[in-house]
Structure 1
Amino acid sequence: MFDLPADVKESAWLIEEASLIWTEVTLDVVAQMDDLSLTALRHLLAAHRHGPLNLSALALHLGMSPSATGRMVDRLVGQELLQRSPATHSRREVRIEVTPRGHEILEQLRTVRRQCIGEALGRLPPEDRRALTRLLQQLTAAAEPPPA
Structure 2
Amino acid sequence: MNTDEIQDHDTAAGPGDDLTDAAWRVEAASLALVEMTLNAAAEHGDLSVTRLRVLLAVDRHGPLNLSTLAAHLSMSVSATGRLVARLDAAGLLARLLSPHSRREISIDVTPLGHRAIGRLRAARRRHITSTLKRLPPGTRQVLARALLEFTAAAQTDESPPPTGPEAA
Same fold (TM over 0.5): yes
Return the match for 1:113 from 99, 117, 124: 124
Q: Report what 1:131 is aligned to.
A: 142
Q: C-alpha distance in 2, partners of 1:124/1:53?
A: 39
Q: C-alpha distance in 2, partners of 1:147/1:92?
A: 25
Please tell me the residue identity of whatever aligns with 1:14. Answer: R
Please tell me the residue identity of whatever aligns with 1:92. Answer: R
Which SS does the other structure have where 2:88 is aligned?
helix
Return the match for 1:59 from 43, 47, 70: 70
- Mapped pair 1:92 → 2:103: yes
Tell me how many residue pairs correspond in the alignment: 144
Unaligned regions of 5+ residues in structure 2, if any?
1-15, 161-168
Return the match for 2:115 from 96, 99, 104: 104
- Mapped pair 1:142 → 2:153: yes
Q: C-alpha distance in 1, partners of 2:46/2:127?
A: 23
Q: Report what 1:36 is aligned to.
A: 47
Tell me how far 1:71 sits from its aligned partner. 0.5
Q: C-alpha distance in 1, partners of 2:76/2:154?
A: 24
Q: C-alpha distance in 1, partners of 2:113/2:69?
A: 16
Q: C-alpha distance in 1, partners of 2:159/2:44?
A: 36
Q: How does 1:66-81 map to 2 (within 5 A)?
A: 66-81=77-92
Q: C-alpha distance in 1, partners of 2:141/2:152?
A: 17
Q: C-alpha distance in 1, partners of 2:74/2:136?
A: 40
Deviations 1:105-126 (A, max 9, x none): 1111110111121222233233
Q: C-alpha distance in 1, partners of 2:72/2:56?
A: 11
Q: Report what 1:18 is aligned to.
A: 29
Please tell me the residue identity of whatever aligns with 1:80. Answer: G
When the two structures are superposed, what TM-score results if normalisation uses the length of structure 2?
0.79
CA RMSD of aligned residues (A): 1.7
The structure with higher relative contact order (CA 8 Å, sep 6+) is 2
Unaligned regions of 5+ residues in structure 1, if any?
none
| Kept in 1: contact 2:36–2:128 (CA 8 A) | no
- Mapped pair 1:83 → 2:72: no
Tell me how far 1:127 sits from its aligned partner. 2.4
